[in-house]
Structure formats: structure tokens, C-alpha cells
A and B are shown apart, each in its own frame.
Chain A
Amino acid sequence: MKILAVCGMGLGSGLLLRMQAEKALRQLGLKADVEVSDIGSARAAAQTADLILTTAELAEQIGQVKPPIVTIRNFIDLNEMVEKLRSALPGGQA
């Protein structure tokens, strides 16, 4: 399974999303590759992803893509990430 963390340039905040997502996945006992992308190439990278993590504003920018988009408001709130991944990922509900 592949998760795509998207921010404007794919440098700073996208990497934070990836690090938080990896922590959350460990807590949930799930395995997935988390990759970082910039908004410019996100639509192309989304083709092979199973889930996209980003902010509400950039979600609007990405538009319609195959995988579901989960928007994160508070980048360092691990609970938010865990809860949102739990409800979005198959196997997270248990």
C-alpha cells in the first residue's frame, strides 16, 4: 500500500506529514510506504497511490483523483492523524 503526502514544494510540510503518518501507522500496526510529493506532480503520483494526505486547500487544488484524499489540519497532532488514517484505511477499523 502506498500513501502520498503532498505539500506545495514537497520539501518541508509534506515531509512532516510523512513522519507523522509513519508514526501513526506504527501505532495502528499497519504497514504502508509513505512518499512525499509536490503539488505540481501530485496528480501523476496519485495514479499509483492508495491514499493521499494533504491540507484542505491543496486537496481542492489536486481535484478529482483515483485514491481518496484525507486532509490534515494540525500537522503535529498525532491523534488527528491516527483517527483519520484509522477511518480511511482498510484494516484500520478493527
Chain B
Amino acid sequence: MDVGYLFNWISSEVFGKPAYLIGIITAIGLIAGRRKLGDIISGTAKATLGYVILAAGAGIVISALTPFGAMIFGATGANGVVPTNEAITALVNAKPAFGTDIAYAMFFGVLLSLVIARLTPLRYIFLTGHHMLFMATVLTVVLLSQKATDTLAVIGGAIGLATMMVVMPAFAHPWTKKLTGGQPFAIGHFNTLSYITSGFLGQWVGKSKSTEEMELPDAIKWVRDPMVATAASMVILYLVFAVALLARVGEAQAIKDAGGGTVGGAGGYLAAQFGNALSFGAGVAVILLGVRTILGEIVPAFAGIAERVVPGAVPALDIPVMYPFAPNAVIIGFLMSVVGGLVGFVVLSVWLGPWLALPLILPGMVPHFFDGAGAGVFGNATGGRRGAVLGGFVNGLLITFLAAFLVPVMSAIGFVNTTFGDTDFQWFGIVSGNVARIGSVGAVVALVVVCAVLVAAASWWQTHFVERGWVPGGAAEAAPAERPSVHAA
């Protein structure tokens, strides 16, 4: 066996396989965290298996989305997209050509974020692991779409990810403090643009009664389970487009486009589409299991390292951490976001889409739930129930229109009927994708300039507003009284 073959084998069969690369990165993190040998072995194995699960989930989602895409195209003549971060991330990562670059970009980006947190006033530690993976995925894909080499995509992706991990929690922090009553944590969820917008709008409409002084009917509380909401809404969307296609092209052609059922005919066709909708929901659940298995090992390792490298930093946490501060605003924000998403869909389908050749964006329940709820909570903090309603609605518009503009800059993966659903992935993906048009090394230089400007602006914001205690609409009120803590079985 010659050395060349060996090197080729290692680079293609080990480092070229994202699952093993993620395992190796996890092992490095666990070793650096001085964990026990048993923990290192089991953590490494779990992270690797998590990646394999993720790729399997991607297969399920692709097989369910393909007929959906065909039905929308056949029925409307336009391409349809259901933004779902988990689905798009799994679809992209399942391709080794992207997966390895993304894993490297995430690894170096996370380390670089610690360096920036250590050296600038932006002492935030971003702990939302899945959003790191999603952001690394967006940036790598938009850079590769502009024909960047793998090395440049990794460098650009890492710098972009690191920047976003420290600047976005800083920009949102005055509103976060208003919302939490000054708790020592920041928001670490890449829908920050929408949360700040919602905070502004809440102040603009003026203080109204808090959402928490209302009583919501029990019947709508089931929506707190995003899996159920996703499956239910996908069944509706699949069946609407299945019927529309059937009406437009007839039974034979509809079955040819999207597949029929066991018994054949229109009944079999509709039953098959119903099954596909459930497969989509199930595929997302499988992907979640994969992501959960990977992150369960990586994030604690990273958090341990971060505590030592940047002592006393503010942790930036996932959006559901904010929900207990206004549980009713969660539901109101979600529902209003879906309304905004539907309005956005109509505007895209009758006006903007045909005019600018944009895809149709259908409401993806996962982003509408988490982002809409977050916008509702931020809007409620500054503007009460009116703020929550308007914040959720505008969030729905934002994530719909920005998604339409994100799809074209991710051209390297081809058209896949899903994309990213949160505003920061979208706006920063669009900015990076357009900056990268310069091409080659110039693209990365330009991206570094954008990142440097963001870090400088966020540092100024941090020292002039956040650290001086500015809070929108005056000092934060004390957090509401604690709820009953222990529920007996």
C-alpha cells in the first residue's frame, strides 16, 4: 500500500465523511474538557451516530418533499418552499461535499467566537448549538454558491458564524433585559432581527395591557407541541395542493406528477399525499433526534471550555428560555406569525413572486412557532398585547419575504423546496451571498470587512447603551411572581 493511497483514504474516508469529522471534533472537545475516558468514548460514538441519524432523516424528508414540490409546481406553475431549518440543514449536510466544509466552519467558528468574546467588550457565549450548525450551513452554502473553494468557504463561514454569535446577543440585549427584568443572560437565537423589530414596534404602538392579564382558551394550547403543529399543517398544505393539482391537470397526470396510492384513482392519490405529509413530520422528528444526539455531547464540552476561556461572560440562550416570562404572548405571537406568513404568501403569489421570479413561501410551522412566539414575548415586553400581536405578525412577514430572497443565493444545492426560516440566517445569508459575488479571495476579504463593521458597531452599542443600562421604554419591571414549582404526580 503506498503512502498516496493512505493519505487519500484518510482524507476521503475519514475527514471527508462529516459523521466521522463531527465525532473527531467532539472527541477533541471532550478531551479538552478533561472528561473521563468512558465519557469520551461514548460521547464520540453518540455524536457520530447522531450524524448518521440526521442523514437518514434527510432521506425521509426528501422523499416526502419531492411529490409536494411537484404538486405545487403543477398546480401553480411556481416553485414552493416550506422553510424548515432542520430539513434544509439535514438535506445539505447529507451531501459529503457540503457536510465536511460545514463541520470545519462550525468548529473554527465556535473557537473564533471565544477569541472575539475574550478580546472585545462583546463578552457573550452563544450556547444554542443547533443554531451554530444552521448558521455554519447557510454561510458555507452561500459561499460555495459563489464558487468559493472549500478552504475559502470554511474560512468565510467560520468568521461569519463567530461574528454573529457575539454581535446579535449584544444588539438585542437592552430588549432582552426589559423582557427578563434584568436577568444575567442574553438571547442566543438567530431570529434576533425580528425580536429587536418586535421590541421597537411594541414601543411604537405604546403600552397596552400585558398578554399575561388575559385568559386564553385551553383549546388552543395544544399548539405548544411543534411536532403536532407541523404534521397537522403539512397535512392541510399537502391536501390543498393535491386537490388543486387534481383539479387542474386531472387524475392521470396528477398521479404521474406526485405518485398514486395502492388502490389507484383519486382516492389512492389523496391517501398517498396524506401519507407523504405525515412522512415530512416524521422525517423532521428523526432529524431532531440526530441533532439532539450530536449536540448533547458537543454543547456541554464547549460550555466547559468557554467558562474557562471567557470567565464571567454572559450566556446567550435559546428562545424558549424567554417564554416563561410571558406564556400567553407565546401563543399570540405564534398565531399572529402564521397570519403574517399567510399574508406574505398571498403577496408573493399574486405580486412579488411573478414580478421578481421569487419562489412561493408557504408557512413552515417550526419557524413560525419558535420565532413568532419569541417576537410575541419581546413585543409584549415593550407594548403589551398590542405589541405581541404586531410583533408576531411582522415576524411572519419578515421570515416569509426574507426566505424568498435567501433561496436564490443558496443556488449551489439546487432547488429543494425548503430553506432557512429565521431572520438572522436569512438576512446574513443574503448579505454574505451578495458580498461573495466579488468572487474568490476578494469574497472572503469583503465578508471579513462586513464582520469587522458588525463587531465594531456591536462593541459601540455594548459600551454606550448596554453597559450604561439603557433599557427601551424605561427601567425593566420586576419579573412576575413565581409560579407553583413542584407538581405532584
Residues of A within 8 A of B (CB): 7-13, 15-16, 18-19, 22, 36, 38-40, 55-61, 64-71, 73-76, 84, 87-88
Contact = CB atoms under 8 A, between A and B. Distances in A.
B185 interface: yes
A68 B487 CA distance: 6
A38 B288 contact: yes
A11 B486 contact: no
Given A10-B288, A19-B300, A75-B185, A88 B486 contact: yes
B320 A55 contact: yes
B129 A15 contact: yes
A74 B292 contact: no
B323 A57 contact: yes
Interface residues of B, number: 46
Contact of A15 (B189, B296, B330): B296
B324 A8 contact: no
Contacts of A18: 296, 300
Interface in B316-375: 317-321, 323-324, 327, 330, 366, 369-370
Interface in B131-145: 131
Interface of B: 127-131, 183-185, 189, 221-222, 224-228, 285, 288, 291-292, 295-296, 299-300, 303, 315, 317-321, 323-324, 327, 330, 366, 369-370, 482-489
Task: State the majority secondary structure of interface residues on B.
Answer: helix
Contacts of A61: 221-222, 224-225
A10 B320 CA distance: 11
B224 A75 contact: no
B489 A68 contact: yes
A76 B317 contact: yes
Given A68-B486, A73-B483, 12 more contacts: A8-B369, A9-B226, A11-B292, A13-B318, A16-B317, A16-B318, A18-B296, A65-B489, A69-B486, A70-B485, A75-B185, A84-B485
